[in-house]
Structure 1
Amino acid sequence: MRILICHNYYARRSGECAVVDQEAALLREKGHDVEQFSYDNADFLGFRFSERTKAGFRAIYSTRTDRDIRRFLLGKTFDVAHVHNTWGVMSPSIYKALWLESLPVVKTVHNFRWLCPVGTFYRDGRLCHDCVEKPGGVIHGVVHRCYQGNLAGSMMASTRLFVNRDLLRIFDRYIDIIVVQNTFVRDRLIQNGFPAEKMALKGNFLRRREFEPTRGDHAIFLGRLEASKGLRTLLDAMEGTTIPLRIFGQGPLEPWLRDQVARRFGPAGRIHYEGYASRPVLMQALASSRAVVFPSEWYESYPIAIVEAMAHGKPVIASDLGSIPSIVEHEVNGLLFKPGDPQALATQIDRLWSDDSLQERLEAGAKAAYEAKMAPEANYRTLMQIYEAAIESRKTRSPGRRD
């Protein structure tokens, strides 16, 4: 099969970018002919203000993308186009451009940017649903300056969403199959008017474990250091336990975290902030842990940290919030606790550390969940079914036509 993958890389590489690259590599390994059409937001980091402003307008709808994809496709044929992130330089104009070339279009929704102007449903340290629940819709993103506290940026983000989702109706007109990573994301989209008949479920996958797992005595946190990840809840919970914890990651809360760990647990205490680590070091620490702690306090989509844990047969102690319960099943492959509740988290940590039979059952459940949903083979079969459905769908729709 000839497959075109379209993706706008973030300036700061994310789990989403890793998913795109892994998926492309897997398709090539399976013998498919894969080409990528991409932009990279990092290319625009050094731009002057006037150039960044122009780039901001192009992010709403880009005629440049239309020209670039037309040149890219000259003399080429593809069976299907698979689009991932478009926010940034590419813009959602790519969908119409592909439709006009009569290509079946698959779109993977990796986050909530089609419902929330900044894609987080998180504002001022709490969940926020104003843009989908209050009159005025995305105007609330401007009122609250949700994009980095910046008025102009918030206007751009809200306008981009309104124009492409509400005015141009991109998902109705130009996309054949919408890939969602779990039922929580699917239901949220359907509740807000996205076409249910186009939805297909497929989570993220991961290569086989990189290290043979052993059962150590420490818990581990892997993730970006920001308020929405529940770090305050995590440290408060750890004060109520005697369990060792290793924290890996970078982000805006790093100075605060270093200070808190030193003050509350001492420089040689059982809580260690490890900072950034290379992947081999990170995976070795994961493989030798007892469990992964995932105290997120915003709506995650399909966290790679949880997939990595399950690939190594590690139970996950996670917030009972959003999509997480569709991945972490309570007392099957992990334990759930009330979001933002340090005592509830501490209780589940102590419960797991004191019950070896529970540990063994959850380890087996984590391995089974990985094999059934997150291993390359299972994921590849689902992806092929999605591509075939998109090709069939395109046959029944009116072909695109350029003037």
Structure 2
Amino acid sequence: MRVLVVHNRYRSAQPSGEDRVVDQELALLREAGHDAGLFERRSDDIASMSLSRKVAVPLRVPRNTAARDDLAARLAAQRPDVVHVHNTFPLLSPAVLDACTAAGVPVVATLHNYTQICPTGTLFRDGAECRSCVGGLPVAAVRHGCYRGSRLASVPIAVNLAVNRRRWSDSVARFFCISAAQREILVASGMDADQLVVKHNFVPEPGVHRDGRSEHVLFLGRLTEEKGVRLLMTAWDRLAADGGLGLPLVLAGTGPLQDEVARWARDRDDVRYHGLADPAACRDLLARSAAAVVPSTWLETFGLVVVEAMAAGVPAVVAGHGSLAELVDDGVTGLTHRPGDAASLAESLRRIVADPEHNRALGKAARADYEQRFGPRAGLANLVAGYRAAIADTGRRTTAAVTNRR
């Protein structure tokens, strides 16, 4: 199968799970013998642009005709069987879909977040769930400055959502939702249920597994409010006041709250701020963990860190909502806590560390669940099945259109 993947990479200073998924799926397809190419733009390139080009970037977020034309040329040269779109913000734009339509190439799109119904893709604002823009014009996103706290910066993403909804629905044969919880929300928002299929992200074999050592509890991810960082800090302070867990908390990542986290961790024996870690270091940190903690206050669409922990034979403590509750079987492969509740999070952390034998059993069950649902074999089968369904559906629609014209 000839596949062309279309993706706008995030800034390397803020590593994204989406970039990781794209690279892993490309490698998976190529290892299986498929002809998988990549058409990409990199947000890192914005820094080296001339002033005039930088000024033009926001203006082209809703429609970048240069990117469309470049993709059209690539399609003509490669003639793929299917195009797989991931992220188009900010240097590609949904205009790339027009090139696919003109070339008659079926399109699938992975929905890594909620950008089809929310300009920022999080359904989260001011520390709480927000659906103000769902189903209507995204005026609230501009009024509240949802993107980077700026009303002006929020305009392009609001316009992008408003003018391109129909383009996405008309151009994409299949949307890959990365969890059933995400699909349920998108269907409830009015998206066509027939276009939305669940295809979980897969995680490659990590090459390193927990060998009995449990040196710390690990938070691995973006240091943002919606990821539950402040909630975790509050819960950990509660535990510390009661004598602690006997293991330190390690936080690895960067983000808007990194200075706050660094100050909080400074001069403490029970907390270590690791900062940004490369992939090999992340795998090592996971393999030495008693548990990975994912206390997100927003409705995560997947939870890649949870599955990476499962692959290493490590259980997770997660917020019991959205996709996280879908990934973790409470009391079997990990523990859940009441979302947004620091006391509940503290108690779950205490429980998962207190009984080493039960902890090992949770990790073993987590590893078995990974092998069945999230390993490379399942990942490849789901990916190729989705492509074939999109190709077949596009063929049926084309045949029906020709018949109707007759």
TM-score range, shorter chain: over 0.9
CA separation in 2, counterparts of 1:334 and 1:386?
30
1:202 aligns with 2:199: yes
Give the structure 2 partner of residue 220 of structure 1. Answer: 218
| 1:176 aligned partner, one-letter code | A
**SS of residue in 2 equivalent to 1:129:** coil
Q: CA deviation at 1:11?
A: 2.2
CA separation in 1, counterparts of 2:154 and 2:87?
19
CA separation in 2, counterparts of 1:273 and 1:67?
45
CA contact (8 A) 1:182 1:302 kept: yes
Q: CA deviation at 1:48?
A: 5.3
Q: CA deviation at 1:240?
A: 2.9
**SS of residue in 2 equivalent to 1:239:** helix
| 2:200 aligned partner, one-letter code | G
CA separation in 1, counterparts of 2:197 and 2:329?
21
Q: CA deviation at 1:144?
A: 0.6
Which of 33, 40, 43 is equivalent to 1:41?
43
Give the structure 2 partner of residue 85 of structure 1. Answer: 87
CA separation in 2, counterparts of 1:64 and 1:240?
54
Q: CA deviation at 1:321?
A: 2.4
**SS of residue in 1 equivalent to 2:61:** helix
Aligned 1:151-166 pairs, distance under 5 A: 151-165=151-165
CA separation in 1, counterparts of 2:160 and 2:180?
26
Runs of 5+ unmatched residues, structure 1:
none
CA separation in 2, counterparts of 1:84 and 1:74?
20
Aligned 1:70-109 pairs, distance under 5 A: 70-109=72-111
Which of 249, 253, 258 is equivalent to 1:249?
253
CA separation in 1, counterparts of 2:5 and 2:346?
43
CA separation in 1, counterparts of 2:51 and 2:186?
35
Give the structure 1 partner of residue 230 of structure 2. Answer: 232
Which of 145, 169, 173 is equivalent to 2:170?
173
CA separation in 2, counterparts of 1:288 and 1:386?
36
| 1:349 aligned partner, one-letter code | L
TM-score, normalised by the number of residues in structure 1: 0.92
Q: 1:283 to 1:172 in 2, by over 3 A?
A: closer
Count matched residues: 392
CA separation in 1, counterparts of 2:152 and 2:369?
44
Q: Deviations over 1:110-143 (max 9, x none)?
A: 111111111122222222221127xx53111011
CA separation in 1, counterparts of 2:56 and 2:215?
53
Which of 30, 36, 44 is equivalent to 2:32?
30
Q: CA deviation at 1:217?
A: 4.3
Q: Percent identity?
A: 34
CA contact (8 A) 2:76 2:103 kept: no
**SS of residue in 1 equivalent to 2:384:** helix
Q: CA deviation at 1:357?
A: 4.3
Which deviates further from its counterpart, 45-54 or 139-148?
Answer: 45-54
**SS of residue in 1 equivalent to 2:172:** coil
CA separation in 2, counterparts of 1:75 and 1:364?
48
**SS of residue in 2 equivalent to 1:67:** helix
CA separation in 1, counterparts of 2:78 and 2:378?
30
Q: Deviations over 1:224-249 (max 9, x none)?
A: 11222212221221223312211111
**SS of residue in 1 equivalent to 2:317:** strand
CA contact (8 A) 1:130 1:137 kept: no
1:192 aligns with 2:189: yes
CA separation in 1, counterparts of 2:118 and 2:331?
32
1:304 aligns with 2:308: no
**SS of residue in 1 equivalent to 2:306:** helix
Q: CA deviation at 1:49?
A: 5.4
Aligned 1:260-271 pairs, distance under 5 A: 260-262=264-266, 266-267=267-268, 269-271=269-271
| 2:177 aligned partner, one-letter code | V
| 1:170 aligned partner, one-letter code | R
CA separation in 2, counterparts of 1:147 and 1:68?
28
CA separation in 1, counterparts of 2:33 and 2:325?
35
Aligned 1:68-147 pairs, distance under 5 A: 68-132=70-134, 137-147=137-147
TM-score, normalised by the number of residues in structure 2: 0.92
